Amino acid sequence: MSILTDTAGAHPARPAADGRARGPRDNRAAVVMATVFLVLAAVYMLLPVFWLLVSATKSQGDLVDSFGFWFSGFHLGENLKALFTREDGVYLHWLLNSLLYAGLGAAVGTLLSSMAGYALAKYTFRGRELVFSVILGGVLLPATALALPLFLMFAKLDATNTFWSVFLPSIVSPFGVYLSRIFAASSVPDEVIEAARIDGAGEMRTFFTIALRLMSPAMVTIFLFQFVVIWNNFLLPLVMLQDERLYPVTLGLFTWQSQVSRDPQLQILTVTGSLVSVVPIVIAFLALQRYWRAGLSAGAVKS
């Protein structure tokens, strides 16, 4: 149930831990020490991002010569222009490819996971636990372990270097099934399904008009998890794709970086391109934080 309330945006009532009601034993020294530690940790986490932000505004010369943690000249506009016009705008291609692989892949994957999770939570049938165990086994088999076997299979079918060779494997998310089974069990009451059946709704209709709506906060969580996994996937596109026009942005920036020794200008473009690719995802990430916490607690809470 705590999953439900979390996804609905309500914070669990924990006055003692929320900092409002402080115990008399919190002495000043403990507060200072804790704060110093937390600040140092925050500096460690944020300094590289700050460096990226600062560096993207520099010229290639200043990137090398000036002090890295402070501004020197402002060339962000020129860098962006160079970034988007390089090789006939290949960078924009990469960004759109990433959006397509991750956005569409996560959308399709979330729907498939939700259906499977719903079936595993709300139907009783022979072999249900076996099916679930096999899917859980898939959780322990990470994407990187599958990339090479997938490549060998697609190579046999002569299907590497296609959009589908990266897209199709990405829609499978065993972890999504695991999460949606938990969510379906807790957020779709059996009485509601029964009522829909008595009213004569078919199984599919019951799912799409009723269950899906009740599960929608959970589906946002599953979508986000899968989106980030696909967006971050590096090995699969690396082994599958030769055509630069099919690259996701991570692979594109990697190839630029590995060509820096031939063309130094690519260094500042890699920096700027990294910043541009990171900004939208970090913003989306922070804006949708409560969904993350819901998904994380579902995996971690045992009671």
Q: What is the maximum span of the chain, computed from C-alpha positions, in angstroms?
A: 74
Question: Residue type at 207?
Answer: F
Cβ atoms of 26 and 206 within 8 Å: the answer is: no
How far is 173 from 184, CA to CA, in rounded Å? 16
| Cα–Cα distance, 298 to 295 (Å, whole number) | 5
Q: Is 5 in the site for another protein (CB under 8 A)?
A: no
Comparison of 88 and 129: residue with beta carbon closer to another protein: 129
| Binding-site size, another protein (CB under 8 A) | 119
Least gap, CB of 298 to another protein (angstroms)? 7
Residue 113 engages another protein in binding (rule: CB under 8 A): yes
Among positive and negative, which fits the CA dihedral 186, 187, 192, 196? negative
Minimum distance of another protein from residue 156's CB (angstroms):
7
- Nearest approach, Cβ of residue 76 and another protein (Å): 17
Is 60 a binder of another protein (CB under 8 A)?
no
> Is 130 among the residues that bind another protein (CB under 8 A)?
no
Q: Which is nearer to another protein, 30 or 85 (CB)?
A: 30
Asked if 159 is part of the footprint of another protein (rule: CB under 8 A), the reply reads no
Check residue 121 for interaction with another protein (CB under 8 A).
yes
Q: What DSSP assignment string belongs to 147-186?
A: HHHHHHHHHHTT--SSHHHHHHHHT--HHHHHHHHHHHHH
Please report where in the chains the tokens 């520099």 appear, as a residue: 58
Q: Which of residues 231-270 bind another protein (CB under 8 A)?
A: 231-232, 234-235, 238-239, 250-251, 253-254, 257-258, 260, 270
| Smallest distance, another protein to C-beta of residue 80, A | 17
35 near another protein (CB under 8 A):
yes
| 231 touches 102 (CB < 8 A) | yes
